Homo-oligomer: A and B are copies of this chain.
Amino acid sequence: MRIYLIVLVLVSVFSSAFAEDSILKYPSEIENMHKRAADEDVDLHCTTWRFAAEMNNLAPWKTIPVECADYVKNYVMGKGYATDLERVSEEAFIFASSVEFSGDGKDIWVFDIDETLLSNLPYYIDHGFGLELFDHSEFDKWVERGVAPAIAPSLKLYQRVIDLGYKVFLLTGRKESHRLVTVENLINAGFQNWDKLILRSPEEQHKMATLYKSEKRDEMVKEGYRIRGNSGDQWSDLLGTSMSQRSFKLANPMYYIP
Contact = CB atoms under 8 A, between A and B. Distances in A.
Contacts of A58: 91
Nearest to A47: B80
5 tightest A-B CB contacts, nearest first = A55-B249, A10-B10, A48-B83, A57-B91, A52-B87
Contacts of A14: 10, 13-14
Contacts of A91: 52, 57-59
Nearest to A10: B10
B3 A48 contact: no
Categorize the interface residue count of chain A: 35 or more
A125 interface: no
Interface string A72-107: 000000011001100110011011001000000000
How many chain copies? 2
Given A10-B11, A249-B57, A51 B3 contact: no
A13 B88 CA distance: 57
Given A44-B80, A57-B88, A58-B91, A51 B10 contact: no
Interface in A22-68: 44-45, 47-49, 51-52, 54-59
A17 B13 CA distance: 12
Nearest to A6: B7
